[in-house]
Structure 1
Amino acid sequence: MKTSVYIRDKINKLPKGYIFTYTDFSTEVNDKEAVIKHLNRMVAAGNINKLSKGKYYKPEETVFGTLQPNQYQVVKDLLEDEGKIIGYLTGYSIYNSLGLTTQVSNRIQIGKNEIRPAFKRERFKISFIKQKNTITRENVPLLQILDAIRYIKKIPDTTINKSCIRISSLLSDLKNYEKQRLIKLTAKYPPSTRALVGALLDRIGYSDDILNTLFETLNPISTYKLNVSKEILPNAENWNIK
């Protein structure tokens, strides 16, 4: 089969918005230069779009114009390595999906054990948040909630009170074993995060010895300024939150 026919056939089978590189064709096509040359010809012809150097995708056309690939696709090479999870979307990337803001940001934040300087990829600014916990597929949803709690003051287009209400709802939806795992993960977060996690779990009526263990990790003379309403978090002072 001709290289051009093989490439077109394989691209036709890919979903729209899926990002690929010349390496996706390397197992069947050995001529790297020929693959790259043909992909660039397809870009020039308007058959595919180029996201950044060496990265292409099938455009999805709507009445509002061409849709950009979703954020996961844009940075999937930074999130997975041969099927292993090495990073996860967090911060500005997931506030909207968690129901914490109506804003959709062009800033992509990634949680990783080893971070690197921020950089741009097409219209997206990509930055990193240091995650000290082991990153696993099961831990990612919990780490995303913990990151939102840690950076609660930076969530755009909302208030601390609204964020506390929404995060309380997210915590309520967790199963008991997930709440226990979340508390264990807080050990590698700042004390202010641990305090707010404890207060929010306490607020929704969660009671467990592990919550008492969490409380004991806090310095009794430290306080954490949040300016949250007493109506929203009536037990705030019990967790040294002001």
Structure 2
Amino acid sequence: MKTSVYIECKINKLPKGYVFTYIDFISEVTKREAIIKHLNRMVASGKIEKLSKGKYYKPQNTVFGNLLPEQNQIVKDLLEKNGKLLGYITGYSYYNSMGFTTQVSNVIQIARNETRPSLQRGRFKVAFIKQRNTIAKQNVPLLRLLDTIRFIKDIPDATINNSCIRLQKLLTELTKEEQEQLKKLALKYPPSTRALLGALFQQIDSNQNTEILQKSLNPITTYKLSVSKTILPTAKNWNIK
């Protein structure tokens, strides 16, 4: 089968929005230059779109133009390798999807154990956040929640008070087991994150056992957050000003 025919047949079978590179065709077509050349011809003809250098995608056409791939597709090579989870999307995307803000960012934030310099993928800037906990699929939702507490001041177009209200709601939706796991994961986060988590837990349940968080903090350290005493009266118990 000709290189061009093979490539187009394989792309036709891909779902719309799927991101791929020339490497996806190497197993069957050994001529790297021929693959890249034909992919670029397909870009020129409008059959596929180029995301960034060496990365292409099959566009989804709408009356408003071609849709960009989902963020998981855009950075999938940075999230997983050979079946091993390397990182997860967090930050701005999570704030928007979970109702902290309506603002949509062109920055994709990825948490990983080993970070790297930021890079560009099409119109998106990809930035990295250091995650000190082991990253596993089952704890990613909890890690995203802790990331939000850690960077609560950086949530765009949102107030600290409204973010605290939203966080309390999300914490109440966790099971007891998830709440206990969240406290353990928080031990590898900055003290300010642990303090705010403790205050939020005490606010939603005065009988909540927060000893593990309290013992991890310096009793004379204070944390400036400017949260309303009405919204989070337990803040004073955690030296949050």
What is the CA–CA distance in structure 2 between the aligned matches of 1:109 and 1:152, rounded to whole Å?
15
Aligned residue number for residue 59 of structure 2? 59
Alignment of 1:73-88 (within 5 A): 73-88=73-88
SS of match in other structure, 1:188: coil
Equivalent residue for 1:24? Answer: 24
Residues 94-151 of structure 1: CA deviation (Å, up to 9, x unaligned)? 2101211001100111111111122222211111111111111112111111011001
Distance 1:21 1:221, change over 3 A: same
Q: What TM-score do you get using the length of structure 1 for normalisation?
A: 0.95
CA distance in 2, matches of 1:142, 1:193: 13
2:226 matched residue in structure 1: 227
Q: Quick one: distance in 1 between partners of 2:32 and 2:206?
A: 57
Q: What one-letter code is carried by the residue in structure 2 that aligns with 1:228?
A: V
CA distance in 2, matches of 1:24, 1:173: 41
Three-state SS of the structure 2 residue aligned to 1:5 is: helix
CA distance in structure 1 between the aligned counterparts of 2:27 and 2:178, rounded to whole angstroms: 41
Structure 2: segments with no counterpart, 5+ residues: none
Determine whether 1:124 maps to 2:120. no
C-alpha separation in 2, matches of 1:37 and 1:125: 27
- Return the TM-score normalized by structure 2: 0.96
Match of 2:75, SS state, is helix
Is 1:71 the counterpart of 2:71? The answer is yes
User: Secondary structure of 1:77's match?
Assistant: helix
CA deviation string 1:136-180 (max 9, x = no partner):
111211111101100100100110011001111111111111111
- Alpha-carbon distance change, 9 to 206 in structure 1, aligned in 2, over 3 angstroms: farther
Question: Hey, what does 2:4 align to over in structure 1?
Answer: 4
Quote the Cα distance in structure 1 between the aligned partners of 2:207 and 2:79.
35
Equivalent residues in 2 for 1:158-237 (5 A)? 158-205=158-205, 207-209=207-209, 211-237=210-236
How many Å apart are 1:15 and its aligned residue?
1.2
- Report the equivalent of 2:156: 156
- Supply the AA of the counterpart residue of 1:236: A
Aligned to 1:141, the other structure's residue is in SS state: helix
In structure 2, what is the Cα distance between the partners aligned to 1:84 and 1:207? 39
SS at match of 1:196: helix
Q: Distance in 2 between matches of 1:206 and 1:134?
A: 30
The answer to whether the 8 Å contact 2:183/2:212 transfers is: no
Superposed CA RMSD in Å reads 1.3
